[in-house]
Amino acid sequence: MSILNKKIAVIGLGYVGLPLAVEFGKKYEVIGFDINQPRVKELKSGTDSTLEVSNAELADTNLTFSNNVEDLKSANVYIVTVPTPINEHKQPDLTPLIKASEMLGTVINQDDIIIYESTVYPGATEEECIPVVEKASGLKFNQNFFAGYSPERINPGDKEHRVTNILKVTSGSTPAIAEMVDQLYKSIIIAGTHKASSIKVAEAAKVIENTQRDVNIALINELSIIFNKLNIDTLEVLEAAGTKWNFLPFRPGLVGGHCIGVDPYYLTHKAQTVGYHPEMILAGRRLNDGMGNYVVSQLVKQMLKKRIQVEGAKVLVMGLTFKENCPDLRNTKVVDIVSELKEYNIKVDITDPWCLSEEAQHEYDLTLINPEQNSYDAVILAVAHNEFKELGVENIRKLGKKNHVLYDLKYLLPKNEVDMRL
């Protein structure tokens, strides 16, 4: 099957969809679709608030933006990059994916291909999404339309690992479609592709990539708790162990974001439906999800040691995004620290040069401030933004009162210049 005459529609223009649409737009006619009208308007004006794509890159591509479903009817390849979050019970929430599938069922035609990139559990594409498309379209899967799965590997804020230089896993619902999907991605991915034997294999590969990282970070977080009780500096231990060639360079910390803190729950959900209750994966999740509370408990102990009144104290949290040098707030675990601090009747101020104030307000009902000097009983360095590094310890210390605690979660500052490290 030829890829030369393909017109591509990318559904969802967030951190994953937009960079992909821009790259495909350099070689194909591409429609970038999103139900978020302000987002479409912003992109039409030539600006990307996620900072994943520059204004020049947006201008230099054969890409049109739309929130009108009718515009999708001219496409013949649909790539779905909508969010797949978890709900309040830590169960997969496939609502955006199901709604996207319903919508595509109203626009697809004979021989069209739907490629899913959203993270799902093994089997979700063919068991959950495809029946929805069939019902809405009246077409028969693998007779009238086809499917593929190519898991996203976007790392928000990473300017080194971009769409084109990250190797891409591909798959298709028939051998011929698998080859077509592989060739389509291979036409833009410089790093090359890996064609999986089935859609389920590709889906499983995606969820274990981040589950593996989650479990490894959980181990390091547990070790940091042990070393803290033993009065040993965790970073010094990790640096010493890291001199061995095969020691993995993980660091303790908060595990948030759209992937690592979410994907394991997709895999454990599927495992439980087939009668297996995962132990290691869920233990790692519990440990990582509890790190916000652990950080606050350690801070409170240190405040008491310095005879700082905890109730009514003022604490500055530096950083709200889920990672450094990136405006992405999705599933940030800094909010766990904020919530736990408030349980102690502590007044919390938050500052973040990368975060949009409106988004912080909308997502978490939090207000960002510009901190004043000599104001805080404690300062928590929660995110390793370059701006905080450039401030240096002297200027950060000036934000605190004469007697205060400086807690460095990210090893931004020298050990002897802070009161606590994770």
Burial of 186 (0-12, 13-18, 19+ CB in 10 A): middle
Task: For residue 324, give the H/E element and its range.
Answer: none
Calpha distance 352→357 (Å, rounded): 9
Q: Is the dihedral of CA 205, 207, 208, 212 positive or negative?
A: positive
How is residue 375 written in tokens?
Answer: 């104001």
Is position 129 annotated as part of the catalytic site?
Answer: no
Q: Which of 129, 259, 326, 355 is catalytic?
A: 259
The crossing angle, in degrees rounded to 10, of helices 199-229 and 280-289 is 50
Spatial CB neighbours of 400, under 8 Å, sequence gap ≥ 6: 316, 374, 375, 376, 377, 378, 379, 406
How is residue 182 written in tokens?
Answer: 């592989």
Q: Scan for tokens 């996203």, then name that residue.
A: 152
Instruction: Give the torsion through C-alpha atoms of 173, 137, 81, 67, to 10 deg.
Output: 150
Contact 230, 418 (CB under 8 A): no
- Give the residue among 398, 407, 342 at the shortest CA–CA distance from 373: 398
Which residues have a catalytic role annotated? Answer: 259
